[in-house]
Amino acid sequence: MVRILICYASLSGNTKEVAEMIQSRLVREHFQIELYRIDSGMIPDPSQYDAMIVGTYTWDKGSTPEEVKDFVYEIGYKPPNVFVFGTGDTQFGGDLLFCRAAEKIAKFYNSRYKPLKIEQSPRGSQEVRVIDWTEGVIEQCLHCLIK
């Protein structure tokens, strides 16, 4: 069974919603999922999972939230299979700063899969983007395990 750790940071709930959508799609695939809200207690050990998915909102002119930086520091190493998603708002600096934190985290972890970037809430028309991206994660995970 594929084991995936989903870690996300969320203040007003958008990133949490995306995390939960990803979780329910992966559960349907019979993947074993642990959902962890960053800053909510002991960090699960990523080495116990086949892949880690990290979700973050973006703050303050394209910044990564402090709790996400702390999380990355606490993890202390770069797990091999990391997938990243983020929520943001183009009103805060247009395309240049949109979901910059997700881009930075994906780059830091050398993620081989493009980060998912969602404008605010994933509900409605963007839901399909979350599902499509998660299908790609499923493919990548199965590929990693076969290798």
Ligand X SMILES: Cc1cc2nc3c(=O)[nH]c(=O)nc-3n(C[C@H](O)[C@H](O)[C@H](O)COP(=O)(O)O)c2cc1C
SS3 at position 55: strand
- Please identify, using beta-carbon distances, which residue of 81 and 87 lies nearer to ligand X: 87
**Min separation Cβ 1 and ligand X, Å:** 29
- Please identify, using beta-carbon distances, which residue of 46 and 55 lies nearer to ligand X: 55
**Min separation Cβ 91 and ligand X, Å:** 8
**Min separation Cβ 55 and ligand X, Å:** 8
**Min separation Cβ 35 and ligand X, Å:** 14
- Please identify, using beta-carbon distances, which residue of 57 and 141 lies nearer to ligand X: 57
Phi, psi of 45 (to 5 degrees): -85, 110
Quote the CA–CA distance of 103 and 98 in Å, as a whole number.
Answer: 9
- Please identify, using beta-carbon distances, which residue of 102 and 141 lies nearer to ligand X: 102
**Min separation Cβ 122 and ligand X, Å:** 9
Which stretches does DSSP call E strand in 26-122?
32-37, 51-57, 82-88, 116-119
- Please identify, using beta-carbon distances, which residue of 38 and 141 lies nearer to ligand X: 38
For the sheet containing 51-57, what is the strand order?
32-37, 3-8, 51-57, 82-88, 116-119
Binding site for ligand X (CB under 6 A): 10-16, 57-62, 87-89, 92-93, 97-100, 120
Cβ-based neighbour number of residue 88 at 10 Å: 25
Which residue's CB comes closest to ligand X?
A: 88
Q: Which of 99, 1, 116, 100 is nearest to 53 (CA)?
A: 116
